[in-house]
Structure 1
Amino acid sequence: MRILIWHVHGSWMTSFVQGRHDYLLPVDAERGPDGRGRARTWDWPASAVERTSEELAGERVDLVVLQRPHEAGLLEAWTGLRAGIDVPAVYLEHNAPTGPAVATRHPYADQDAVPVVHVTHFNRVMWDNGTARTTVLEHGIPDPGHLYTGERESLAVVVNEPVRRTRVAGTDLMLDLARDLPVEVYGMGMDQLVGRAPWLEGCVHEDYRQSELHRALGAHRAYLHPYRWTSLGLAMIEAMTLGLPVLGLSTTEGPRAVPAAAGLLSNDPAELCARGGQWLREPDVAAEAGAAARAHALEHYGLERFLADWDVLIEGVVA
C-alpha cells in the first residue's frame, strides 16, 4: 500500500512509518510545515520516502491520511485527486478540541466520504463530529527498553515551546512545583523559559535525539506531565515505557492512560508535590510505581497493536 501522509507530529509518525506499507512524505526546499519530509532526530525506515509536490503528481497513491484541514486542498492542487472521491482517505485528528469543549465542531463533521480517526476516546466524545463516521485508534510506540535508573533526584518534564503554550502545557504549574521540588525540563524553546524562570538555569536541556532523550529521561526519579489540555502526551507514554512513575493532572485521557499503581494523577498541586517528594525520599517506592507504569504502557500502547489496528482500518477504507 502506498500511503501519502504529511510529517506533522514526529513522535506519532515514528510509530506509523514502522508499518508494512510505503509512506510518501511531502518535502520542499524549506522543509516547512507542508514539506518537512523525513525526520531529522528520529530513525525512520527506508519505506518512508520524500516526494516533492511535482513528484507526487506522477505517483500512484492508494490512501491519503489527512491531519489538517488544508491538506485536502494541497492534495488536489498537487495531484488533481479529491480526498474520499478519487482516492481513499481518512482524517486523523490528533488534538482535543480547542474551543468550547462540548461545542467545537470538527472540520470533517457531517460528511461521509472521509472517516474521522481520533487518537483517544476522550477526543471522539468531546468533538462534535456530527454524522461523520468516526473511530478511535489509540497510540502505540516502539519499546525503547527499560532504561530507568532513577539516579537523578529530580522530576523530568518534556515540553516544546513552554512559554508560548503556558496554559495548555501547564508551564505555570510546573514552575510553581519547581519552587519546592527539583525539576529538569527537556524540549525546544528553553531560552525563553529560563528568561521567565531564572532559577531553572542549568536545569533545561535542548537538542536531544530521541534515543539520547530516552536515556536522559530514564535517569530521573519520576516524570511530571503538567499539561492541562492535551490529547494524550506521547512523551508521557514513552516515559512510562522507560519505567518512570508519572505525576500529572487528572484531565483528558490521562485517567485511562495512568493507573493508580503507576503514579498519581490529581488536580491538586499539593498532592502532586507530596507524592513527588515521597519518590525523591524513597527511591524503591518510585521504582515500584515505574515498573507498574512500564507494564501498563507495554500492554496498552504497544507498537504491534497500534500497527495492527491501522492495518484493519486501512484495509476497510481501501477495499
Structure 2
Amino acid sequence: MRVLAWHVHAAWMTSFVQGPHDYVVPVLPDRGEDGRGRAQTYDWPASVSELTPEELRSTDFDVVLLQRPSEVELFERWSGRSVGDHGVPAVYVEHNTPRGDVNDWIHPLGKRTDIPVVHVTEFNRAMWDNGVAPTVVIEHGVPDYGYRYTGELDSLVVSVNEPVRRWRVAGTDLVARIAEQVPVSVYGMKTDELTARITSGLAQVDDLSQAQLHDRMAQHFAYLHPYRWTSLGLSLVEAMTLGLPVLVLAATAAPESVPPEAGLVSSDVDLLGATALRWLADPDEARESGQAARAHALRRFGLDRFLDDWERLLKEVAR
C-alpha cells in the first residue's frame, strides 16, 4: 500500500515506517511543521519518500494517516480529494492527552464515524470523549536497539524536548527537586535553557541525534521519567529496551506500563530521589532492575507486535 503521513513525531514515525508499505511524507521548502519531509536525525528506510503539495495532487494513496486536526483540511486542499467514506480511507492517530477542562475533552474527530481514532494507550482512550468515532488502541512499539547499559555515569538521565516551555507538563520542576538529591542530565531540544532555571545538580544538557541519545542514555545509572501529562513517552520505552532501570512519576499510563521489577513508579518525588541514591550505592540492584525493564519492554513494546497491529488496521481501513 501507499500510505501518506505527515512527519509529526519522529520517534513514533521511525517505528511506523519499518512496515512493508511505501510511505509518503509531505515536504515544504522551509521544512516547517506541515512539511518536514524525511527525518534528518533518525534512520528511516528508503521506502519513505517526500512529495510536495503539488505532487500530492497527482498521486494516489491507499490510506491517509492523520495525526493533527488540521491535516484533514490540508489533505483536501493539497490533493483535491476528501478523506473518509467519500474519499481516501483514513485513520487518525491520537498521540496526546486532552487539554483544558475535563468537560471539554471532546476529540476533534468525535463527530465522524468514518475515520477510526487510534489511541496509543488505553489511558488516552479513556480520557478523551471520543463521541461516535470508532476507536482502537495500538500501543507503542520500538526497535530492539540492543542491551547497552553500562551505568558508568553517576547522574540520572531525562529525555525531553523544550523542558522550560513544558515546565509542569513535562515535570521539569520535579527534575529540579530530584537534582537536589542526585545529579540529573537532560537531553533534548532547547535543554540549554535549563541552565538558567536549575541552579544545582544539573550534570549535562545536550541536543543529540537518536543514535547518540541511545548511546548516552545507556551510560547513565538510571532513567528518570517525570512527565505529569503525556500519553506514554517513547523515551521511557526506549530506556527500558536499552536496559536502564527506571524511576517514573505515577501519572497517565505509566503505572500500567512499567512493572515493579523494572524500577519504581511513584507519585512520591522524594522516594524517587531516595531510590536513585540507593541504586548509586548498589549498582547490582540497578542493573538487575534494568534487565527486568528490558525483558518487559521487548515483550510488551516490541516492534513486531506494533507493526502487526498496524498491518491489520491498515488493511481493514483500506478495504
Structure 2 counterpart SS, 1:211: helix
Aligned residues of 1:190 and 1:204 also touching (Cα < 8 A): yes
Aligned partners of 1:201, 1:131: CA distance in 2, in Å?
A: 47
- Determine the structure 1 residue equivalent to 2:183: 182
2:152 maps to a residue whose letter is: E
Query: Displacement of 1:199 after TM fit?
Result: 3.0
What is the correspondence of 1:129-148 to structure 2 with a 5 Å cutoff? 129-148=130-149
Aligned partners of 2:125, 2:198: CA distance in 1, in Å?
A: 36
- Determine the structure 2 residue equivalent to 1:99: 100
What is the correspondence of 1:129-208 to structure 2 with a 5 Å cutoff? 129-199=130-200, 203-206=204-207, 208=208
Structure 2 counterpart SS, 1:213: helix
2:261 maps to a residue whose letter is: A
Structure 2 counterpart SS, 1:169: coil
Aligned partners of 2:295, 2:179: CA distance in 1, in Å?
A: 28
Asked if residue 116 in structure 1 is aligned to residue 117 in structure 2, the reply is yes
Moved over 4 A (4+): none
Aligned partners of 2:310, 2:48: CA distance in 1, in Å?
A: 16
2:272 maps to a residue whose letter is: L
Query: Displacement of 1:200 after TM fit?
Result: 5.3
1:65 maps to a residue whose letter is: L
Aligned residues of 1:156 and 1:222 also touching (Cα < 8 A): yes
Query: Displacement of 1:130 after TM fit?
Result: 1.0
For structure 2, the 5+ residue unaligned runs are none
Aligned partners of 2:310, 2:54: CA distance in 1, in Å?
A: 28
User: How many pairs align?
Assistant: 318
- Determine the structure 1 residue equivalent to 2:298: 298
What is the correspondence of 1:242-257 to structure 2 with a 5 Å cutoff? 242-257=242-257
CA shift in 2, pair 1:255/1:41, >3 Å: same
- Normalised TM-score (structure 2): 0.98
Asked if residue 7 in structure 1 is aligned to residue 7 in structure 2, the reply is yes
Aligned residues of 1:103 and 1:127 also touching (Cα < 8 A): no
Aligned partners of 1:47, 1:271: CA distance in 2, in Å?
A: 46
2:118 maps to a residue whose letter is: V
- Determine the structure 2 residue equivalent to 1:40: 40
Query: Displacement of 1:195 after TM fit?
Result: 1.3
Cα-Cα RMSD: 1.0
Query: Displacement of 1:198 after TM fit?
Result: 3.4
What is the correspondence of 1:46-57 to structure 2 with a 5 Å cutoff? 46-57=46-57
Structure 1 counterpart SS, 2:229: coil
- Normalised TM-score (structure 1): 0.98
Query: Displacement of 1:100 after TM fit?
Result: 2.8
Aligned residues of 1:140 and 1:306 also touching (Cα < 8 A): yes
Query: Displacement of 1:162 after TM fit?
Result: 0.5
Aligned residues of 1:16 and 1:307 also touching (Cα < 8 A): yes
Aligned residues of 2:192 and 2:206 also touching (Cα < 8 A): no
2:95 maps to a residue whose letter is: H
Q: Show CA shifts across 1:118-174 (max 9, x none).
A: 010000011000111000011000111000011111110001100000010000000
- Determine the structure 1 residue equivalent to 2:220: 220
2:276 maps to a residue whose letter is: G
Q: Show CA shifts across 1:178-220 (max 9, x none).
A: 01101111111122111112335652122x1211111110011
Aligned residues of 2:183 and 2:202 also touching (Cα < 8 A): no
For structure 1, the 5+ residue unaligned runs are none
1:175 maps to a residue whose letter is: A
Aligned partners of 1:160, 1:36: CA distance in 2, in Å?
A: 17
Aligned partners of 2:254, 2:118: CA distance in 1, in Å?
A: 19
Aligned partners of 2:300, 2:102: CA distance in 1, in Å?
A: 26
Q: Show CA shifts across 1:273-313 (max 9, x none).
A: 11111111100000000000000000000001000000000
Aligned partners of 1:64, 1:50: CA distance in 2, in Å?
A: 14
Aligned partners of 1:48, 1:202: CA distance in 2, in Å?
A: 37
Aligned partners of 2:145, 2:302: CA distance in 1, in Å?
A: 11
Task: Provide the identity percentage.
Answer: 57
Query: Displacement of 1:103 after TM fit?
Result: 4.3
Aligned partners of 1:196, 1:125: CA distance in 2, in Å?
A: 35
Structure 2 counterpart SS, 1:265: strand
Query: Displacement of 1:101 after TM fit?
Result: 3.8
Query: Displacement of 1:94 after TM fit?
Result: 0.3
Aligned residues of 1:194 and 1:200 also touching (Cα < 8 A): no
